[in-house]
Structure 1
Amino acid sequence: MEAWIKLRLAKRWVSSHLFSSFLAEEAIELVVAYLFLKPFPFHAPCSRITGFLRFLRLLSNYDWIFSPLIVDINNDFTSKDEKEINENFMLSRKSYEENAQDVETAMFLATSYDKASEAWTKFSPNRLVLKRIVSYARSNADLLTNLILQGHNGPYTWECLFRTPLNNYDAVVLLHRDKLSYPRSLLFPAEINNGWFIDLLNL
């Protein structure tokens, strides 16, 4: 049950920061699964907050450019399997020495049924989107850590973890919450302090 809640938090975070179209749900599930399969030097996360924080730390600290994330769900990988995965990974990074912009698979997730990371992350996220994901994960992990250690004494609360800043966008399409198909799914609507927005219902 706790693992399911951690997964929901991870998917909620990805969706809240508008990364859902770049990071497949299956990829998120594999990253969360890795937290339980390879928790070293810790134990497997036992609380939703711990699991969510480790998810953010994994996204922000993992060396995605130079290391494949190997998710051995059934714990049955052999040295031959790992060699094959590493060879596939090196092929995907072959062009990096010539031009870092040419890296095709920015996030390499390897499983027993997908040793070349072709199913969920072959084309997305690309290098620039992954850089944004890593940046958001790092700042949110730091915020969550501060909230755990210091409580809600500062100007930021835990809702900020699921509220993406929209001031970085040139235009924002604003939908009235009561007109949405599933309004309860929008827990923490983003705040717009300035800039242009488009109100579709009043055009």
Structure 2
Amino acid sequence: MQKIKDRIFLGIVAGMLGSIPGRLLNKLEFELGLTDSRYEQLAASLFVTKNDAHKHRGKAVGKIANGILANGVGIAATYTLSATGRDFYLLKGVGITSMAWLGIYGLSAQANVRKSKKPSAALLSYLDHVLFGAATAALVAMLGDDSLFPEQKIKREEREETIAALQQDYNYIIQTDPCYDKEKAGSIFGREDYTSSIH
């Protein structure tokens, strides 16, 4: 499978896809009566009146705002994993969305957005964001090209340094040891024309 090499594009793709499980879970929670908050309505309430948030235009604004948030989380996850590596990627993703969750609820409080009357709504919302972060980070780790992550860069650099060191040692031996079997050395390295180039 072709991996994504551009960090911004990778973040957008991972964020949009990673937000789907959390949104579906929130929809299920709403239908079961466990929460009275939908993310589209909460996001729309930041930009339109409470009455308009339930209308088609208000819902459209909410979807756009949620999409932008998902893109931002995906890009943040991409740059975090690109800088620190893919180890513990689930924990890193959850950490990013946990901070986003705190920011969203803090911003909602400052904007006087209607608070949920359900005691469990805030906890369920956090669980939705945990799922969002884990899914997004997993997609970044899976869809991102290996060259984006430091552990692969280190391995490649170490391999190149090892090859260069071996070549230097080999050249030193054949230049300083007149009894060295150059024909045998050429066959070992798989280069039949190598012995002719060193005479």
What is the TM-score with the length of structure 2 in the denominator? 0.30
Q: Which structure features the higher share of helix residues? A: 2
Tell which structure's C-alpha radius of gyration is larger.
Answer: 2
Q: Normalized against structure 1, the TM-score is what?
A: 0.29
Q: Say which structure is richer in strand.
A: 1
